[in-house]
Structure 1
């Protein structure tokens, strides 16, 4: 008897619980092995004469029986995947039960569908389970219709807020299990998707969010969308689960279909519903970003694959530089885990990019570790092999040699905040959103603008949002409405806030050790107060990123100042990233309590102010001095700024006024200078708002 795992057989299995149990515990392993044996068994060698290139490469989709080859140790998640009928079972049963939660296997599988099970960690007693849904929006593109649907869903089924993520997607928190299918189907039928937003497969593909009509930007965004389509699961499990098998999706470009089906270099599983992923998918999550030269708004080097458009002198795209092996996640006090920057792999002509990306993904699929998930990201494979061996293996699946990477100009971070010309006569407007959390009056005003002017939007990798395709005549009324919603022009936003990021952390993330999103507003205010005390100007800034655990979702290891939760109200401090996100930060200090931040940061900022070289950023300064010297500066700091009095004569004309302000400030946990500055800023803001009204 031949068993098929296509959409038709999946429907039969779903209707018969007995078949599900039998398949789960007895049938699937033999079927998996049949698929393995039916796919190519060809052993091939590189045409290169080097010994590393001549190593044997053999694709294996699932572990084989002992009589065929010794079975390797696998993590529990690998076994869940093998027994799942391509990410269906037991999730298809668990979502139908009356319980508010799902079991362990289903909890792992629902990630592939774009969801995480969570509970409110602020509450004690019985756990209040809910689900976070994450969309998949290549390039951060969100249609007008999808934005309005997500806005409605947040109010009807979530916690009333939308969150913009560092991978250009939405997160919708607080969805109950009984509402999952309603919410998922609403997203799908609005031409949205959550498929692959989480799980062991390719995640959302980043690209610059700016809707410029330049050839290189358009080509980068088109390439990102094609890569996302190439690596989208094909077995239908997502649509079977949430819209009863109805596939609601647009037609794919023929070049994507051709690249996916191509098996000339033994990359695919023949006759499998998942030609690229097989039954086991990838060892761990996989991240890709595409950009153009100079524009590092995507944090290119933090991705498993970074792709850069290379254009000729006339601005015509010719090909791509490819970088591999980036990743942020690590485990505290386990030195064998580490953040890593992507390194150059090579250059390919533009028509080859899908084949090159596929070859890299297959190399990780076949060789990434599946026994210990701490070491399953591609960066550990490259770290173990070295880039030369990795390149040699990828070239076998690609079928060609990579050319050397082309030289590129220096990178810049681009925020795209404020008003810009698109290049087609229309405007776009980039809006800063603190920690990406769209809520309250801001959410209401944004919806009104997007709905009234029928605007499409884009989400940036820095948790901000861009309103696109705005007519010149709409600029003034939109600017006025945005101000009413607290969405200010860039010049009115504290420069520290512009580049700051934080992950959601507590109360819903099960991995969080301490606060991030809820704690960053106060931390930024305290750092601004330090700036004022040490004499740094208001327009000066540093890149600050905060995470509640070491997994690095807000990319703290690329920050000039990264705070990484390592205990209750405690952080590691990382220093040394650069404003253009091209240098990896280094661990500076462990276990710094939140109340002690000033003791560490004040001397660092004080000496940066006085010892920096011309135009030297904070990250460059800390790298130049090194940890040993910086620790010495912190240890010797006595908490009193040399040569400064206890009150600021530029703000206080007399000591009595200062002392009265100081007494009032202490009741609020501040000093007199902080409170005075706050009062002045609030007064100025109120006057400005009054004039606008």
Structure 2
């Protein structure tokens, strides 16, 4: 069935960004011209196109001085399908962080790396280095397919995981921009040496007949205008929700036959978490079950869904431009019917799946071929050297010495793999010697399962703190849980500095979403395995009021939970009306007097690092360690 042509773009009253994309000559201008200019920053139009090349122009708000030019710097984001980072690329990124960046690397929630603090004059050299060392930043940002995610665990004896990695790579290749702009601008037209393109993927990109591609465009799938907004894809295996599948625009789930061979994929579509405060027409949404597709048709299915969003997604209002809004407005049945037209044949019914489970794969594991892998917990994905904690140095030394590949996890952690068993002890000793914890039992699980976005000072959208605030917030939550008699309790806590939801707070059991300086909207009721949306409980909570707010909720949880029930499941089961009713009648039994303030002190960074390491080794909160140390020093009871 041939798809009828969509309405001309001119009749849709396109947004300003649509016009910028049209004038860009397939992502070339004005970036190609302005990168040659001796200035500290790009124009507004160039900034929009620069995103497609994998970079955001930022302003370090910590360094703002009234009357002076903004402290312009650039964030570079890599595209690593399935989180795969070869050793050569990791070492190049580590070097770039020191040579041009702020001496840190940050693992993202989409399994890539971010480099922060790069100056405009160094941007070209940084991108060229990434490309020549087996990496890419093309399509890591912008209105197109972003990094394709897959479970990070390198199980070499699992065909399902092998298929997930293979098809994550292939879908990423299928949807990679075809414009020559990237190599023209950053490598002076010289395309990096790489392996031959998968002929099956190449054929799928060129195959038409149902309206999915443009034959007369430099971009056969994206056309002149690319996508209405970003488009996020993941590939996973039944039961493995390490990739937060319900938050993706498109998810493929590997389905194997009785012999364990690949048969096809279940397809989910329509997830997305970005929203805007006080704009009820914007909302977080979980993906819907769409269909099953045989393996030989999977690329045509991906193209059909991409084309449906490309041609019918809202290009007039960028707040309403994601696939989730198209499916919400149309309904799933209409969406399926349109996908079927682009696909060219009837859709097959969705296959049964087991329950989803979240895994973070930390610690030591057998990978199935006689070798080992090690998942290393990284607070908020920030790889750095600070005080006695020298993670950046430790990872560089290990990757250099053992030539180990890395897989980044969707939880901002790092997995080192292909480790020979005889090297296990030496690697562990190296990490421990640099203050890096490898014993996962010593990691407080409140910290282990938390995530935060970078937010201030570099993100231009941040309303308040996130990465810099969450360690203290988690310490206070742990101290409060201890005080109400829940010392071993843990749940998924996520924090963002604005409502865009980059750390996926709307799927958390307890979510903090920046709503004003030092204040957060609080979301409750997501599931431990990230299969259910949380709901907004309160619009603005100042961080100073955290204990007063959470204490009655935790007490109610302790008093009324079912056996083994998680905090998120409890909040969802009893409902907000019951929680509010209990809270209103609750009288604090912990405060020694009414209106007692929370006293705060500040410690140096080196003392903080030692304090944290001590607390982890003793399985205590930092608050408790400080309390004991001060009592001993002051000789008080």
* TM-score where L is the length of structure 2: 0.92
Q: Give 3-state SS (helix, strand or coil) of 2:57's partner.
A: strand
Q: Give 3-state SS (helix, strand or coil) of 2:263's partner.
A: strand
Which of residues 530, 534, 548 in structure 1 aligns to 2:497? 548
- What residue in structure 2 maps to residue 599 of structure 1? 548
- What residue in structure 1 maps to residue 297 of structure 2? 352
Kindly provide the CA deviation profile for residues 419-470 of structure 1, in whole angstroms up to 9, marking residues without a partner as x: 0011111000000000000000110111101111110101000000000100
- What residue in structure 2 maps to residue 231 of structure 1? 175
Kindly provide the CA deviation profile for residues 328-368 of structure 1, in whole angstroms up to 9, marking residues without a partner as x: 00000111100000000000111211110110000000000
Kindly provide the CA deviation profile for residues 512-534 of structure 1, in whole angstroms up to 9, marking residues without a partner as x: 00000000000000000011001
Count of residues in correspondence between the two structures = 602
Which of residues 566, 580, 583 in structure 2 aligns to 1:631? 580
- What residue in structure 2 maps to residue 111 of structure 1? 51
Verify the 8 A CA contact 1:433 1:487 in the aligned structure 2. no
Matched, 1:438 2:383: yes
Distance in 2 between residues matched to 1:44 and 1:195, nearest whole Å: 32
Distance in 2 between residues matched to 1:224 and 1:197, nearest whole Å: 15
Verify the 8 A CA contact 1:293 1:308 in the aligned structure 2. yes
Distance in 2 between residues matched to 1:609 and 1:428, nearest whole Å: 37
Q: Where do 5+ consecutive residues of structure 1 fail to align?
A: 1-42, 46-56, 65-70, 647-661, 684-693
Distance in 1 between residues matched to 2:55 and 2:629, nearest whole Å: 41
1:181-220 → structure 2 map (5 Å cutoff): 181-213=124-156, 214-220=158-164
- Comparing 76-85 and 397-406, the one that deviates more: 397-406
Q: Structure 1 residues 645 and 675 mapped into 2: Cα distance closer, same or farther (>3 Å)?
A: farther
Q: Give 3-state SS (helix, strand or coil) of 1:522's partner.
A: helix
Distance in 1 between residues matched to 2:334 and 2:251, nearest whole Å: 19
Q: Structure 1 residues 675 and 149 mapped into 2: Cα distance closer, same or farther (>3 Å)?
A: closer
Verify the 8 A CA contact 1:435 1:503 in the aligned structure 2. yes
Q: Structure 1 residues 674 and 169 mapped into 2: Cα distance closer, same or farther (>3 Å)?
A: closer
Q: How far did 1:681 drift?
A: 9.0
Bigger relative contact order, structure 1 or 2 (CA pairs below 8 A, ≥6 apart): 2
Verify the 8 A CA contact 1:505 1:517 in the aligned structure 2. yes
- Comparing 71-80 and 196-205, the one that deviates more: 71-80
1:20-59 → structure 2 map (5 Å cutoff): 44=2, 57-59=4-6
Matched, 1:326 2:278: no
Which of residues 474, 493, 498 in structure 2 aligns to 1:524? 474
Distance in 1 between residues matched to 2:464 and 2:179, nearest whole Å: 39
- What residue in structure 1 maps to residue 213 of structure 2? 268
- What residue in structure 1 maps to residue 617 of structure 2? none
Verify the 8 A CA contact 1:513 1:549 in the aligned structure 2. yes
Kindly provide the CA deviation profile for residues 486-506 of structure 1, in whole angstroms up to 9, marking residues without a partner as x: 321211111101110000000
- What residue in structure 2 maps to residue 74 of structure 1? 14
- What residue in structure 1 maps to residue 334 of structure 2? 389
- What residue in structure 1 maps to residue 606 of structure 2? none
- What residue in structure 2 maps to residue 29 of structure 1? none
Q: How far did 1:247 drift?
A: 1.2
Distance in 1 between residues matched to 2:228 and 2:127, nearest whole Å: 26
Matched, 1:284 2:224: no
Q: Give 3-state SS (helix, strand or coil) of 1:133's partner.
A: strand
Verify the 8 A CA contact 1:599 1:634 in the aligned structure 2. no
- What residue in structure 2 maps to residue 464 of structure 1? 413
Which of residues 325, 328, 342 in structure 2 aligns to 1:380? 325
Distance in 1 between residues matched to 2:339 and 2:278, nearest whole Å: 33
Q: How far did 1:321 drift?
A: 0.6
Which of residues 614, 625, 629 in structure 2 aligns to 1:678? 625
1:111-190 → structure 2 map (5 Å cutoff): 111-125=51-65, 126=68, 127-190=70-133
Q: Give 3-state SS (helix, strand or coil) of 2:12's partner.
A: coil
- What residue in structure 1 maps to residue 486 of structure 2? 536
Verify the 8 A CA contact 2:52 2:142 in the aligned structure 1. yes
- What residue in structure 1 maps to residue 465 of structure 2? 515
The structure with more radius of gyration: 1
Verify the 8 A CA contact 2:179 2:219 in the aligned structure 1. yes
Q: Structure 1 residues 44 and 318 mapped into 2: Cα distance closer, same or farther (>3 Å)?
A: closer
- What residue in structure 2 maps to residue 487 of structure 1? 436
Q: How far did 1:669 drift?
A: 8.8
Distance in 1 between residues matched to 2:379 and 2:307, nearest whole Å: 38
Distance in 1 between residues matched to 2:623 and 2:44, nearest whole Å: 53
Which of residues 480, 496, 508 in structure 2 aligns to 1:559? 508
- What residue in structure 2 maps to residue 399 of structure 1? 344
Q: Structure 1 residues 286 and 681 mapped into 2: Cα distance closer, same or farther (>3 Å)?
A: farther
Matched, 1:91 2:36: no
Q: Where do 5+ consecutive residues of structure 2 fail to align?
A: 604-619, 631-637
Distance in 1 between residues matched to 2:310 and 2:169, nearest whole Å: 21
* TM-score where L is the length of structure 1: 0.84
Distance in 2 between residues matched to 1:396 and 1:74, nearest whole Å: 25
Distance in 1 between residues matched to 2:101 and 2:623, nearest whole Å: 39
Q: Structure 1 residues 114 and 682 mapped into 2: Cα distance closer, same or farther (>3 Å)?
A: farther
Verify the 8 A CA contact 2:475 2:622 in the aligned structure 1. no
Q: How far did 1:645 drift?
A: 8.9
- What residue in structure 1 maps to residue 534 of structure 2? 585
Distance in 2 between residues matched to 1:76 and 1:682, nearest whole Å: 58
